[in-house]
Amino acid sequence: MMRVVLRRGVVPVGGIRGFLVAVLPCWVLLLLVIAVGGAEAQTAQLTIDTTQIVSPVSPTLYGLMTEEINHSYDGGLYPELIQNRAFHDTWEGVSPWDLVRRGNAEVSKAVDTTTGPSAALAHSLKLTVVSASKGNEAGLTNPGYWGFEAGPGTTYAGSLYARVEDASVGPITVQMISNRTGAVLAQAAVELKAGPWARYEYALKPGAKVAAMQASADNHVELTVAHAGTVWLQLVSLMRPSYHDRSNGLRRDLMERMAAMHPHFLRLPGGNYLEGNSIADWYDWKKTIGPLVDRPGHNSPWFYWSTDGLGLLEFLEWCEDLKVEPVLAVYTGYSLNGSHVATGKDMEPYVQSALDEVEYVTGDATTRWGAERARDGHPAPFPLHYIEVGNEDYLDRSGSYPARYAQFAEALHKRYPQYKLIATDGNSEYTTRVNPDVSDEHYYKSPQDMMDLVHHYDTVSRRGPKIFVGEWATRSGSPTPNFGDALGDAAWMTGLERNSDLIVMAAYAPLLVNVSPGGMEWPTDLIGFDAANTYASPSYWAQVLFAGHLGDGTAKSSLAGENKRFFYSATVNSAEKVLHLKLVNAGSVAQPLALSLTGIHGMRKAHLTSMHGASYQATNTMAEPDAIHPVESSASVTDGVWMHTTPALTIEVLDIPLR
């Protein structure tokens, strides 16, 4: 009924759309617009000449972008389990630490700004135990980042800095305790020595039986003593095992998710995280390297303190572990409150910092900062090709970017002529005013707007800089994208691939979200996780499908008679001699397709991967992590002909052998 009333040409589309926008939620609108555009399920003709490559596909097209947002690092990828391990003090106190007072124990806590183990951590938490005894212990409790994973048989590596004048207050007993039952899942004792600040190690290993019975992250940690006395504490840490067992490495399950995305680069360290809320909050990378006790942490723009446990070296080792290259963004004197550093003398320290940072990444051990990196445990330099000059400088309304860019570009080019520079003052509305090698453009769009933009780059001039789509996402689902978003993403990626002679790199953003209540700042993030588990959104799987079947050239092709919201990409992997055909049916009716391939003879067994959602809103969640996922099957292509119907709301990748 609805389709008849709304048939194109019968009703003025603008008028109907205006009415619908005013009265109907946007997903209903999208459904109706799709119906207007694509009610007829006629057979589309897709012709591909696999012998003719019309444009190259960048080998680095797909990569990763994230930053300290949504507890991506602290409470996420950085495997520290203790929240606020360095007792950062705010108006709420040293949240979320609380006192333990068992039985008749008496104890108080206070931040002591007169003593700490290092200049960076010059304060500590002073625990004054007035009375405590066995069974009446006193101490501190920490809830972790919304719980503590207690893996059966897993060893969690603990450490802490403590100072005591009289060791008889100890030992400190560290326990992981079930919130539900009060059962002690793991326990260790830390013997104290009287004297100056000292670092102590301990380990917690939940027993296989106990942990299996308490199979949840609904646990907390307590540090208690059974004697009166005073103890000062700092950097109380408990780390889960890391990916590749790196010291101070990253959380395994999240790294595995990223590895499966076939990424080629990691843009680091952000995003807004690079800029900080104000100039004082800039990403001062030198404060994020070296021993943890020498890292003061800093105020991140996403409303919580960053420990910088995941600092510059950890970013680089993250790249190394995933076999990807860093795209290094350097701070260029502009922060989120709109303030900027004047060019010239005032800017020189920031320029010097950028030069030093590139040396830390790439210099050998004979250089000042290469030697520092070697001392930090990584003698070998890291590979680098791109340096990004700032972040989203199109938002700098003062017009200062061209002069700031010029000062940085001159210094970087002089010292490092081999690296390509990326400017950040362009976006989809206007082009960069400087003259970079690459311009970084960002897109955060609704499903409908994303699909409307699929052909945007088809007509962008090839005479300007190359393009880095450094942040993009189709956004409607929360905390992670729904299937409608995945369709928008897949449609958009067909445009990225077709225009990859121009677009050298692209990254979905943000990548990670801690889905525990209070963990998220930015709705619509690719991978959800909590203290114990992760899950992949439909958009994640779309990324895996596209990046895993990239190809190196776009084949000559044409499509006719398709429904609205039907998209495709046809790329050839010349080394493996495979055609990767991606089909995206974002419409609500099936799309019959007659595929005709030049350059293919006889019968070819093709591999089909398909992902379907029951509705635009259908999604994956922590409770139902696999509701939507790719399904594998095979198909036969005979003498270059394939008659096929792509179901509604479906993303497909067909790999056809060319020999």
Tell me which residues touch ligand AHR (CB under 6 A): 67, 69, 270-272, 391-392, 471, 509-510, 522
* Spatial CB neighbours of 52, under 8 Å, sequence gap ≥ 6: 555, 556, 598
CB of residue 268 vs ligand AHR: minimum separation in angstroms?
12
Residue number, 507 or 578, with CB nearest to ligand AHR: 507
Rg, Å, the chain Cα set: 28
Map tokens 């503590």 to a residue.
148
CB of residue 302 vs ligand AHR: minimum separation in angstroms?
8
Q: Taking CB positions, which residue lies at the least distance from ligand AHR? A: 271
Map tokens 């190690």 to a residue.
201
CB of residue 308 vs ligand AHR: minimum separation in angstroms?
17
For residue 429, count CB atoms less than 10 angstroms from its CB and return exposed for 0-12, middle for 13-18, buried for 19 or more.
exposed
Q: How far apart are CA 284 and CA 277, in angstroms?
A: 13
Strand order in the sheet with 172-178: 98-101, 138-142, 219-225, 172-178, 184-190
Residue number, 52 or 400, with CB nearest to ligand AHR: 400
Q: How far apart are CA 350 and CA 276, in angstroms?
A: 14
Best CA proximity match to 591, nearest among 214, 41, 23, 174: 41
CB of residue 392 vs ligand AHR: minimum separation in angstroms?
5
Residue number, 293 or 526, with CB nearest to ligand AHR: 526
CB of residue 115 vs ligand AHR: minimum separation in angstroms?
37
Residue number, 179 or 427, with CB nearest to ligand AHR: 427
CB of residue 475 vs ligand AHR: minimum separation in angstroms?
10
Q: Kindly report whether the peptide bond that precedes residue 465 is cis, defined as omega within 30 degrees of 0.
A: no
Best CA proximity match to 447, nearest among 322, 337, 310, 584: 584
* Spatial CB neighbours of 380, under 8 Å, sequence gap ≥ 6: none
Residue number, 76 or 587, with CB nearest to ligand AHR: 76
List the structure tokens of 555: 């084949």
Residue number, 112 or 525, with CB nearest to ligand AHR: 525
The β-bridge relationship of strands 265-268 and 229-239 is unpaired
Residue number, 436 or 510, with CB nearest to ligand AHR: 510
Contact 516, 652 (CB under 8 A): no
Query: At CA 27, angle to CA 23 and CA 28, rounded to 5?
Result: 55
Query: At CA 581, angle to CA 575 and CA 583, rounded to 5?
Result: 160
Residue number, 326 or 510, with CB nearest to ligand AHR: 510
Residue number, 162 or 330, with CB nearest to ligand AHR: 330
Residue 288 phi, psi dihedral angles, 5° rounding: -110, 10
| Cβ neighbours around 489 below 10 Å, total | 30
3-state secondary structure of 572: strand
Residue 421 phi, psi dihedral angles, 5° rounding: -105, 140
Residue number, 70 or 84, with CB nearest to ligand AHR: 70
For helices 312-322 and 252-259, give the axis angle rounded to 10 degrees.
50
CB of residue 121 vs ligand AHR: minimum separation in angstroms?
27
CB of residue 336 vs ligand AHR: minimum separation in angstroms?
9
CB of residue 67 vs ligand AHR: minimum separation in angstroms?
6
Contact 591, 85 (CB under 8 A): no
CB of residue 272 vs ligand AHR: minimum separation in angstroms?
3
Contact 131, 87 (CB under 8 A): no
Residue number, 206 or 510, with CB nearest to ligand AHR: 510
* Greatest CA separation for the chain: 89
Residue number, 67 or 112, with CB nearest to ligand AHR: 67
Residue number, 292 or 330, with CB nearest to ligand AHR: 330
Residue number, 69 or 618, with CB nearest to ligand AHR: 69
CB of residue 261 vs ligand AHR: minimum separation in angstroms?
17
CB of residue 271 vs ligand AHR: minimum separation in angstroms?
3
CB of residue 71 vs ligand AHR: minimum separation in angstroms?
14
- In 543-658 the beta strands, taken as DSSP E runs, fall at 553-560, 566-573, 578-585, 591-598, 603-612, 631-638, 641-646, 650-657
CB of residue 335 vs ligand AHR: minimum separation in angstroms?
12
CB of residue 388 vs ligand AHR: minimum separation in angstroms?
11
Residue number, 370 or 510, with CB nearest to ligand AHR: 510
Give the dihedral sign, CA 302/307/311/315.
negative
Residue 274 phi, psi dihedral angles, 5° rounding: -70, -40
Q: How far apart are CA 149 and CA 219, in angstroms?
A: 7
The dihedral region occupied by 17, where left means phi > 0, alpha psi between -120 and 50, and beta the remainder, is alpha
Map tokens 């099936």 to a residue.
590
Strand partners, 564: none
